[in-house]
Chain A
Amino acid sequence: MDSRTSETVGPRSEDALPSSATSAVKIVIVGGFGVGKTTLVRSVSEIRPLTTEETMTQASVSVDDLAGVERKRMTTVAMDFGRISLNDELVLYVFGTPGQQRFWFLWNGLFEGALGAVVLVDTRRLEASFDVLGRLEESQTPFVVAVNAFDGAPSYADEELREALDLADDVPLLMCDARSRESSKDVLLSLMRHLYSLAMTSEATT
């Protein structure tokens, strides 16, 4: 749990990347509080997942401040991530965003250059995904929607879910179990196949 207790700083020797590793890509996992983002990162990562923290400055204007003076508030936001070596040269990083959605898009460089995003959904709280779906569409980040099947959560037909989430027909929708490595791997693969077909379509039209 606590990395400070380890005697040496840095990656464990078995986690060291080969010196042939030259480039890296990233995928971002988003979704509401407790939907299984950290669990999915842990399931697919080849290293023990790591956490990074960033200090965000938020301008806030209080309502009863007649002068309307902006005050800056500092907030620390943590992000989990894991790593997969795809081949000798290419490395994939998978980021699990924190539950507080308003910070995701403030995190510098998280979405820029990302291959795409996975929106994890809990059918007991569908409304937790509305905001992020809108933002991903706005920023033109390609994404897939994965329903993390919690025990006892209501299950819906695909069409019902698509309608409730207002999903375009071409956005892949799949069921998963974030605790399973195979299932989590399939989620990432479905995003990559979606990117592949988007790339093929845009190639065909240019």
Chain B
Amino acid sequence: MTPDAEWDEGSPERLYVLTGGRSGSEETGLDLVTLIMARTAPRIGMQPEHESILRVCQSPLSVVEISAHLELPVSIVTVLLADLLAEDHVEARTPVPSLPDIDIIKAVIHGLQNL
């Protein structure tokens, strides 16, 4: 492959480079809808994808929305978020427990009725 061969944005090679070869299956405890919020401002010299995450997470944003806005697969975003979490650049807000309790169900019903 020539060095400047055009690569597909979503190609395995590009994704490999973005994540340093780690797989997205590492245990991060992040759900598709875990809300992420930046704790620090993007800094010069950061990996561009890390910087983009900090920029879109100035207000809370779910993992899957970050994926949609950055046009990167969720599995890649999860790895990038693990880096940012490790350095306290972002916070992951408490996810909802997997078994919904009655209070959450009531809150959803109430919220939908008020739409």
Contact = CB atoms under 8 A, between A and B. Distances in A.
A84 B68 contact: no
Given A9-B70, A10-B69, A26 B10 contact: no
Contacts of A11: 56, 59, 61, 65, 69
A52 B60 contact: no
Nearest to A10: B56
Interface string A182-206: 0001001100110110011001000
Interface in B59-115: 59-62, 64-65, 67-71, 73-75, 93-96, 98, 100-102, 104-113, 115
A28 to B, nearest CB: 10
Given A52-B74, A109-B31, A113-B95, A25 B64 contact: no
Given A17-B35, A192-B105, A54 B73 contact: yes
A115 B100 contact: yes
A112 B32 CA distance: 10
A171 interface: no
Contacts of B25: 108
Contact of A86 (B61, B68, B70, B112): B112
B110 A86 contact: yes
A9 B55 contact: yes
A85 B110 CA distance: 11
Interface stretch (A87-95, A118-126, A143-151): A87-95
B33 interface: yes
Contacts of B55: 9-10
B52 A50 contact: no
A55 B108 CA distance: 32
Nearest to B30: A109
A24 interface: yes
Contacts, number: 149
B19 interface: no
Interface in B7-61: 10, 12, 15, 25, 31-35, 37, 52, 55-56, 58-61
B60 A86 contact: no
With most chain A CB atoms within 10 A of its CB, the pick from B33, B69, B71 is B33
B60 A113 contact: no
A86 B109 CA distance: 9
Given A84-B112, A93-B33, 16 more contacts: A4-B71, A10-B69, A11-B69, A18-B60, A22-B35, A23-B35, A24-B96, A26-B33, A52-B68, A54-B74, A86-B107, A86-B111, A108-B75, A110-B32, A181-B115, A199-B105
A151 B12 CA distance: 44
A50 B58 CA distance: 19
With most chain B CB atoms within 10 A of its CB, the pick from A25, A74, A76, A83 is A25
